[in-house]
Structure formats: C-alpha cells, structure tokens
Structure 1
Amino acid sequence: MPEILFHGKLAEIVSKRAKQPPVWAFPRAAKDLVETLGIPHTEVARIRINGRDSDFLAPVNFEDRLEVYPHTPPRPSPWNADGRVPHPGEIAFIADNNVAGAGKLLRLIGFDTSIDSRLDDREICIKANRENRVVLSRDRNLLKRRIVAYGCLLRAEDPWRQLEEVVLEYGLARLARPFSRCLHCNGILVPVEKEKVLDRLLPLTRLYYDAFNACNSCGRIFWRGSHVKPILQRLEPILGSYQASE
C-alpha cells in the first residue's frame, strides 16, 4: 500500500474510508487514488510522488510515497489564470442546489452567480465551462467529474460560513460591491429616478426614501431600507470594515 500524506486542510476532509482503504490494484493513476479517498481534483494544487512533482495522470505504485497539497488563496479560476487582479465583472460562479444560499449571498456582495435548480450535475458542468464559471458545491461527486475545470468544495453547512469560505479562497473581499446585483435573478442594479417608479412604491416607502435602483433584467426595485444596516454588520467580519462601510 502506498504511503499517502494529505497536507494542510486536505487532511480534514479525507473520507473516513482512508482509514480503511479498499483493496486496490497497482499501478493506479494519482487522480483515481486521491479521489477514491474523497478529495476532488478541484481541491488539489500539487502532487508529489517519491519527492518529485507529478500530475494527476502519473501512476502510483504499491511502494510509492504520495503527497497531496491544497491550494493557497487565491485559488485558480478563469479570471486569475494570467496572474493579474481581476475586474469584479469578470468573476463568475455557479452554485448547485445544496449551496444555493451561499450563491444568493454572493449576489448580495455583487458577484455574478448562476443558481438554477432545474440543472442536473452534467448541465452545471457544461454551463460552468461555457461561461467560465467556478463550480461551488458540497457534493464531492460533482466536483470529481473530469469536465470540472474550476471548482470549490465548501465545508460549512451555514450559507454565511460558506460565503466566508468563498471570499477567503478567491480573495474577494476588496472586489465585493454589496447591493449592486439582484438577489432574485442575478441582474445588475442601476439607479432609477423616483418619479419613474412612484406607482410601484408603498406609501411609506414613497415618504421616507428617495434613492432607488432597478434590476436591468427583471425590473425589481430596490432601496436601502432598515434591513441594510444589519446586513452590513453581518458582512463586516467577512469583507472587512472597508467594504462594510461602503
């Protein structure tokens, strides 16, 4: 049996099966070996076999030593492949159903995030590749699919904690633009004159608010009501005081 060492946070997410591994035939591809132990390829930054850098297709033999290293932020993505700081408009995700809550929170802080409960796993992968999106999921089997070029396995169950994971993993804090995107359809919010939406406002909203935004896709109207302050307070430990005061 090869000696397999998972470094850093990968050691925390190795499947319990790693303690009682199945009977394997060798040689075996590194990708197959690592993913059988519960680690999707999207979570792996580097592989070393017997002290030498290798790739996922490299064969691992019975007597080998395999070391697997996690990504360090910012993780690889379609928008940082050339090493430059991305424009916020280039950043795009697709969240599957089990992390849809985190997907809506990403929209809340201004990032293009596709959420569509009608899509199956294969369709999610195809859409991600076609639109240069990072796949977000807690489903390891989804992220193990070979077609997934960029993805992130979210560990937390709470959507706010998941948001924190994504912001940290992709270095998004200073790129966030809270309240700039529609939570419902992912469209962009643009300023709209109060007079043009008066007939759509409740009497108290007309009385107390003057600044409004409209979604350029679904047409919903938004304004900074009493709900904004507690949301910004919730975002502050995730984005930092710079963004929370925006």
Structure 2
Amino acid sequence: MREKIPPRFAVDCMLGKLAKWLRILGFDTVYFSRIQDEELLALARREGRVLLTRDYHLSLRMRDKQVVFIESDAWPTQLRQVLNRFQLRDFIKPYSRCLECNCLLQPTSREAVRQLVPHYVYTQVKEFSICPCCSRVYWRGTHFQDMERKIAAILGEEGSAEAKKGNRKRDIRKNRGAVTKRIEQKSQLNRNNNKEK
C-alpha cells in the first residue's frame, strides 16, 4: 500500500494568515502577497499544488478540480476547513517549516547561531533550528505557548477540555446536592428522635 502524502498548497493573496498557519503546522504552502491570477494558476498546475482561494471566480478557472474555495473570513475556520477537507490531522508536524519562505527547517548547534540571536536567547535556549534558504533562526520562546493554545483550540482539544471542565462542575453541584439532602435527612431523623424522647 502506498503511503499517503499530504497535498501541497498554493494560497491566494487574500489568505495570508491561512498560509502562515499551514506552514506552522508543517504543510508545504506557497504564498505571495502580490501575484497575478494567471501566475498563481500556472504555478499551482506546474507544481501540482492545490489552490486555496477566497475568489470564487478564480476557483472556477482551475478546471482539474485541484482547488478549494475557502468559505469563511476567519482564519481558524479556514484552517479547519482545509484540515478536514484533506484529513490532514495525522500529518501535522508543527514548527518544521520556515514561516517566511516555506523551506524545511534544519536543526543547528547553539554555537552556529551565537552571532545570529540575542545574547539572552543564546544563554537560555538549548535547541535551535535554521532555515537553509533564508538563514532565519527559530527557537521555542514564550510566543510558542500562545501558538500551542491556538493549535489546541483549532484541533478541538481546548473544546474538549472545556467540556470536561463543565462536566466536573456539574458533578460537583450534583455531589453538593446529595450531601445537602443527606444532612437534611439526618437532621429530620434527630428531630424525630428528640420528639420521641
């Protein structure tokens, strides 16, 4: 059985945030803030990429069906649409691509980036990656925590956590009610015993 390979994407100029987040999740995504429709169509066909576009008329010009019309204006919803459309969740490899030029990142030594990063970063961070195309250096700083939360929300994990939290609150309220009922029953029993005495 042939191993499934995730599609590569070409994203139109209206979907810059979507392109960024597809790269964050590790998907091969080309994006240009300024490009003619004809050039984008030609690139997608030439490189066998799926065209992602908010332009309905542009989507109709991609005759070979390698196109997805993005329905929402909100980038999280856009990203979910693409992930679900191509069943990509098992192919996610976060932080494996350069956010600027789409190249795969390569691990590099701390010494190699000593002159390329701020001193405080060099002293605190142990692992670095570098883009072989543009030499941009990446490391896991505090901004990664925010990115992790956004990824979790997009993949539904945050929603699941909230549901569990809600269930726990309902269980606590239910237990409190049961305890209160037992206390009332015990008090009533004591009052009855006192009357009998």
Band the TM-score falls in, shorter-chain normalisation: 0.7 to 0.9
Q: How many corresponding residue pairs?
A: 157
Q: Offset of 1:136 from its aligned partner? A: 0.3
Distance in 2, matches of 1:229 and 1:145, equals: 40
- SS state at 2:121 partner: helix
Task: After superposition, give the CA deviation of every residue in 1:177-203 in whole Å (9 maximum; x if it has no partner).
Answer: 000000111011110000011011112
> Structure 1 length normalisation: TM-score?
0.60
> Structure 2 length normalisation: TM-score?
0.75
Among 143, 147, 150, the alignment partner of 1:231 is 147
Residues 96 and 104, structure 2, Cα contact 8 Å, conserved in 1: yes
- SS state at 2:15 partner: helix
Corresponding residue for residue 70 of structure 2: 154
- Are 1:111 and 2:27 counterparts? yes
Q: Runs of 5+ in structure 1 lacking a partner?
A: 1-82, 242-246
Please show how residues 67-216 of structure 1 align to structure 2 within 5 Å. Answer: 85-88=3-6, 91-216=7-132
Q: Offset of 1:239 from its aligned partner? A: 3.4
Distance in 2, matches of 1:129 and 1:153, equals: 16
Residues 125 and 148, structure 1, Cα contact 8 Å, conserved in 2: no
Greater fraction of residues in strand: 1
Residues 134 and 150, structure 1, Cα contact 8 Å, conserved in 2: yes
Corresponding residue for residue 51 of structure 1: none
Q: Which has the larger radius of gyration?
A: 2
Q: Offset of 1:107 from its aligned partner? A: 0.5
Q: Runs of 5+ in structure 2 lacking a partner?
A: 158-197
Q: Offset of 1:146 from its aligned partner? A: 4.7
Distance in 2, matches of 1:238 and 1:148, equals: 30
RMSD value, Cα: 1.7
Q: Offset of 1:117 from its aligned partner? A: 2.8
